[in-house]
Amino acid sequence: MSRLVKIALPTLICVAGLCASLGADIEDTPYSHVLLLSVDGLHKVDVERYVADHPASALAWLTAHGRTYANATATKPSDSFPGLLAMVTGGTPRSTGVYYDDGYDRTLAAASGDCIAGARVQWKQNLDVLPFSFTTTIDPLKLPRDPADGCTSRVYPHQFPRVNNIFEIVKAAGGRTAWSDKHPAYEFLNGPSGTGVDDLYTPEITVATGVATTNSFSLTMAYDDMKVGAIVNEIRGFDHTGTSYVGTPAVFGMNFQAVSVGQKLKAEQVLTAPLLTGGYVSTDGTLVPSDGLEATLDHTDQSIGAMVTALADQGLLGSTLIIVTAKHGNSPMDPATLVRVNPTVISTIVNTVAPGLALLSADTGPLIWLKDSSTAAAVVEQLNLPANRAAARIDQILWGPELAAQYADPATDPRVPDIIILPTPGTVYTTSATKIADHGGFGEEDVHVALLVSNSAQPRKTITDPVETRQIACTILKALNLVCDGLISEQIEPSKFLPNSDHKHDGSTIDVLSKPRKASR
């Protein structure tokens, strides 16, 4: 750990010791600030292992003063856009209408060309003003168009989610809001109002000075440092640049990318030294982080420690609730199970039945949009042939009534995929020889993420009840003494704030994917 964290954390423990006698009731006391941190790729087991091996770490301190949710599930599909939306809207794709950062909408038109409904919609670096080295600007001419008005208007990211979010509610209540993330397209956090986030800092991660940031552990850690600096400035009461004093936000936070790259990148591709490797390695039958992944975990922990120290320095530690979680996990963790499959294997199968596939979005859980949804049954029948199941490593297929029960009917909802493939565990659909893991699927390692809710006055607890990351939205509003009834997602798929202790699960939330069946012919 950095010298800063080593000095600060013992002091914080003393502060917590003065408050420990207050007991569990302090957990329900309103806070002035909530700091939400998404460490992409961070599994529950990653935190457990790191805390056990690093008892003086920031994560260990937060764990000692917080509630660890040992059975937390992220969204399905497990992608960044629906993952973060769940945390701030309380909704899954069923209510948000957002299934992936690379999806399809049957009612929108492409950014250019004929004004014809049906378009791929990407919410990432494809929207940036070029050249996009750390740009924070969207090029409007790259946005999809709305055929409803003759394609004269463009659809911005914040207009795409169908529901509002906590930033809008907090701001309406008079609180300041801030967020930092990896693409300018994350302006979707402004919500349908377009004004949800007061201070949005979104430096582009994809390219830095002509080099792919995510091809390097070191460059990704340096990229995260820019956002960490922004958060520390905001803790001190300034805007993210550190130049204007505006007051510490009521709700703010950021996304960490380094751990995710540490899990996904086979080895350092940019720098000559240090020659770090990524993923997990097996030691006496136990999976442990590689040197590259360990370096990213250490760096992220130090960054979180710097934030905790800044909160203490500003006298805000006791009045701030800190939430550490992940938009998604990454899989596979065991390198022995990794099998790469070229995604064209799937598209070729589909096109034999329905030529002109609308879109295949395939990382670890392929989503298939068809130009003609009426061909879905024929496509599933073809995918279900033994030879095709083997070639595409298909374990299960979600479509028809089961898919509609989980989300909506693609025949009536223009954004729902027609078919979702649940592959054999360990499968990554990629042509990259340097990629050893990814996300997007429905499996355990993709969705079983870390979730820690901490404050210096809280006692240590481990809660084993099943929870969802979408419950973070209501939890944040409750912490700020607000109610979550104002979240539109609550009208479609009600949720609750995260429990303070284990309670009997009432079974009211039914996930049809908990026992998926083989696809019928």
250 and 360 in a single domain? The answer is no
Does 72 reside within a domain?
Answer: yes
Measured CA to CA, the distance from residue 498 to residue 73 in angstroms comes to 12
pLDDT score of 21? 32
Residues 218 and 285 in one domain: yes
Statement: residue 436 has pLDDT above 90: yes
The CA–CA distances, whole Å, from 440 to 83, 118, 120, 423 equal: 10, 23, 17, 11
Do 306 and 358 fall within a single domain? no
- The answer to whether the bond into 77 is cis (omega within 30° of 0) is yes
Based on the domain organization, do 197 and 166 belong to the same domain? yes
Q: What is the mean pLDDT of residues 194-206?
A: 95
Query: What's the confidence (pLDDT) of residue 285?
Result: 83
Specify the DSSP class assigned to residue 206.
S
Measured over the CA atoms of residue 80, residue 81, residue 86 and residue 89, the dihedral's sign is positive
Instruction: List, in sequence order, the alpha helices (H) in 426-466.
Output: 444-447
Task: Confirm whether 326 is domain-assigned.
Answer: yes
Binned at pLDDT 50, 70 and 90, residue 284 comes out as: confident
Helix axes 376-383, 344-351, angle to 10 degrees: 130
> 96-136 pLDDT, tens per residue?
999 999 999 999 999 999 999 999 999 998 999 876 566 77
Helices 291-313, 44-53: axis angle to 10 degrees equals: 80
Whether 23 shows a pLDDT value over 60: the answer reads no
Higher local confidence (pLDDT), 97 or 28: 97
What is the structure's pLDDT at 16? 33
Total domains present in the chain:
2
Domain identity same for 190 and 275: yes
| Domain membership flag for residue 148 | no
Q: What is the pLDDT of residue 3?
A: 33
Q: Which of 182-191, 225-234, 276-285, 483-492 has the lowest mean pLDDT?
A: 276-285
| Residue-level pLDDT at 132 | 59
pLDDT band at 513 (very low <50, low <70, confident <90, very high): very low
Low-confidence winner among 40-44, 63-67, 196-200, 496-500 (lowest mean pLDDT): 496-500
- Measured distance CA(65)–CA(459) in Å, rounded: 5
| Domain presence at residue 32 | yes
Provide mean pLDDT across the span 55-59: 98
In a domain, 82, yes or no: yes
pLDDT at 22: 36
- Shared domain for 317 and 345, answered yes or no, is no
pTM (whole model) above 0.75: yes
Element (H, E) at 179: strand 178-180
Contact (Cβ atoms closer than 8 angstroms) between residue 97 and residue 159: no
- pLDDT of 196 strictly over 50: yes
Residues 305 and 185 in one domain: yes
| Tokens, residue 94 | 């069923």
Residue 10 has pLDDT above 60, yes or no: no
Last residue of a domain, one of 392, 410, 429: 429
Report the amino acid identity of residue 439.
H
Query: Quick one: 347 and 330 in the same domain?
Result: no
58 in the same domain as 165? yes
**Does 156 map to a domain?**
no
User: Can you tell me the mean pLDDT for 24-38?
Assistant: 80
pLDDT for 275 beyond 80: yes
Output the pLDDT for position 36: 98
Instruction: Please enumerate in sequence order all residues whose Cβ is within 8 A of that of 186, keeping only pairs 6 or more positions apart, or say none.
Output: 84, 157, 179, 200, 202
Output the average pLDDT for the chain.
90
Span 171-189, mean pLDDT?
Answer: 97
Bigger pLDDT: 515 or 77?
77
Does 257 share its domain with 360?
A: no
CATH code of the domain covering residue 415 = 3.30.1360
User: Could you give the strand order of the β-sheet that contains 419-423, starting from the edge strand earlier in sequence?
Assistant: 359-361, 367-369, 419-423, 394-399
Tokens representing 234 are 């905001």
Tell me if 62 is assigned to some domain: yes
From the DSSP assignment, how many helices (H) and strands (E) are in the chain? 16, 23
Q: What is the DSSP letter of 310?
A: H
pLDDT for the residue 449: 98
pLDDT at 136: 78
For range 79-104, the mean pLDDT: 97
Q: Structure tokens of 209?
A: 């000075």
Give the pLDDT score at 468.
98
Q: Residue 503 — very low, low, confident or very high, per pLDDT cuts 50/70/90?
A: low
Which DSSP string do the residues of 256-309 spell out, in sequence order? E-HHHHHHHBSB--S-SSS--B-SEEEETTEEEE-HHHHHHHHHHHHHHHHHHH
Residue 299 sits in the same domain as residue 198: yes
pLDDT of residue 502: 84
Is 374 found in the same domain as 281? no
For residues 203 and 136, the model is more confident at: 203
pLDDT digits (tens, 9 = 90+) for 316-358: 999 999 999 999 999 999 999 999 999 999 999 999 998 889 9
Find the mean pLDDT for residues 415-422: 98
Residue 504 lies in a domain: no
Indicate if the pLDDT at residue 469 is higher than 60: yes
In the chain, what is the straight-line distance between the N-terminal and C-terminal CA atoms, in Å?
Answer: 56
Consecutive H or E run containing 320: strand 320-325
Domain that holds residue 305: 3-94+161-335+440-492
Which residues of 332-477 form beta strands (DSSP E)?
339-341, 359-361, 367-369, 394-399, 419-423, 427-429, 448-449, 451-454, 461-463, 467-468
Q: 509 pLDDT exceeds 60? A: no
Q: What is the CATH number of the domain that holds 207?
A: 3.40.720.10
Residue 399, beta-bridge partner list: 419
